[in-house]
């Protein structure tokens, strides 16, 4: 009988820490064994919630022969150090985005995973959702013709309703505000639609709640072919639906504007498209990669591209 993979959570810093811990508890091929955090009170609270042991000794945890992998939900600025140490110890890594604060950091971590023969997967969950499966099919079929414009919006009220932890507004830890966090999802979806190469990046960031980082953001990108992509996010909107729109020379695709419907418009008129079931999420893909020894190559490429565009957007906002 194949033994379950033994997984530890590295840090309760991120709001998704419990979610990824529960993924390890719920997956039939994994077992959650520990939580580590450099903040003992925070880490112990998560360990108690998940029903596993807490340790403040990262070196000792990574040295455990019975530990197979980790989920990483540290501050983004800690990724290079913590993930670098984890990979060097020969442990598999499932990590919250961004993979690294820099493209160079991404390259070092991806190279370390290869060198140490371990699997590294980044949580890019919306690539597994049914609407993205349907979107891919439309794009691959060429139904919309030459893509001219896309817009992806994802926002919530984490700042105005004050439910995000204060550390999410620390630019030294979080690498910025709403765009470096929540906009990751619109970014990688925009890159799916338009491709990963862009010729310009323009950013509009505002701080509406006075916390020192952007909580309201729109970024516009252009491609070599002339397409325009708009990426919108924020922590100041209570009722904004998650939406995708893609326009081309032969048609348009809309998702999320009418109770989650996906609609395709062509010269023949508008019709609803069926949204299929979600496919295996990133955590499941990571477990499969560990068992088969086959890296999640597309995930890694998209994670690197996500970091590249986020860095470019932040740089553009600072100019």
pLDDT(278) > 70:
yes
Percent over 90 (pLDDT), the chain: 96
Confirm whether 309 is domain-assigned: no
* 155 shares a domain with 118: no
User: What is the per-residue DSSP string for 65-80?
Assistant: TT--EEEE-S-GGGHH
| Cβ atoms of 87 and 114 closer than 8 Å | no
Which pLDDT value is given to residue 249? Answer: 98
Q: Which domain holds residue 151?
A: 130-277
Confirm whether 308 is domain-assigned: no
Confirm whether 305 is domain-assigned: no
> Which CATH number covers residue 90?
3.40.50.720
> Which CATH number covers residue 252?
3.30.360.10
* 188 shares a domain with 266: yes
Percent over 70 (pLDDT), the chain: 99
* 242 shares a domain with 137: yes
**Residue 224 DSSP symbol:** T
* 208 shares a domain with 86: no
Q: How many domains does the chain have?
A: 2
Which pLDDT value is given to residue 258? Answer: 84
Average of per-residue pLDDT across 270-297: 97
Confirm whether 247 is domain-assigned: yes
Confirm whether 270 is domain-assigned: yes
* 141 shares a domain with 120: no
- Output the CA–CA distances (angstroms, integers) from residue 159 to 76, 88, 166, 317, in the order listed: 19, 37, 10, 20
Contacts of 273 (CB under 8 A, 6+ apart): 134, 138, 253, 262, 263, 264
DSSP E strands, the chain: 5-10, 30-36, 53-55, 69-72, 92-95, 120-122, 147-155, 200-206, 216-222, 228-234, 243-248, 252-255, 262-266, 269-273
What is the rounded distance in angstroms from the CA atom of residue 249 to the CA atom of residue 148? 7
* 250 shares a domain with 212: yes
* pLDDT class of 232 with cuts at 50, 70, 90: very high
* 148 shares a domain with 32: no
* 78 shares a domain with 208: no
Confirm whether 290 is domain-assigned: yes
Is pTM beyond 0.85? Reply is: yes
């Amino acid at each position: 009988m194949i033994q379950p993979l033994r997984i530890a959570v590295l840090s309760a810093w991120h709001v998704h820490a419990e979610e990824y811990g529960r993924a390890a508890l719920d997956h039939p091929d994994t077992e959650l064994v520990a939580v580590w955090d450099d903040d003992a009170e925070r880490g112990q609270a998560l360990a108690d919630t998940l029903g596993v042991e807490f340790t403040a000794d990262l070196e000792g945890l990574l040295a455990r022969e019975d530990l197979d992998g980790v989920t990483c939900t540290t501050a983004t600025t800690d990724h290079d150090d913590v993930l670098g140490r984890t990979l060097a110890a020969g442990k598999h890594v499932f990590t919250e985005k961004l993979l690294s604060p820099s493209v160079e950091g991404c390259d070092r971590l991806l190279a370390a995973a290869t060198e140490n023969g371990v699997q590294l997967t980044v949580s890019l969950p919306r690539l597994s959702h049914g609407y993205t499966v349907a979107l891919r099919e439309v794009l691959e079929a060429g139904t919309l013709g030459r893509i001219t414009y896309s817009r992806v919006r994802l926002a919530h009220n984490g700042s105005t309703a004050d439910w995000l932890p204060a550390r999410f507004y620390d630019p030294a830890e979080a690498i910025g505000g709403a765009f470096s966090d929540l906009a990751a999802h619109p970014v990688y979806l925009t890159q799916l639609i338009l491709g990963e190469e862009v010729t310009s990046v323009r950013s509009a960031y505002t701080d509406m709640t006075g916390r020192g980082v952007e909580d309201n953001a729109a970024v516009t990108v252009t491609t070599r072919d002339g397409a325009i992509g708009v990426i919108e996010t924020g922590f100041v909107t209570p009722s904004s639906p998650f939406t995708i729109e893609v326009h081309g020379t032969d048609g348009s695709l809309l998702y999320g504007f009418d109770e989650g419907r996906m609609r395709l418009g062509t010269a023949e008129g508008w019709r609803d498209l069926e949204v299929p079931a979600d496919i295996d999420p990133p955590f499941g893909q990571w477990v499969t990669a560990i068992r088969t020894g086959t890296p999640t190559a597309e995930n890694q490429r998209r994670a690197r591209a996500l970091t590249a565009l986020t860095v470019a957007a932040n740089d553009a906002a600072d100019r």
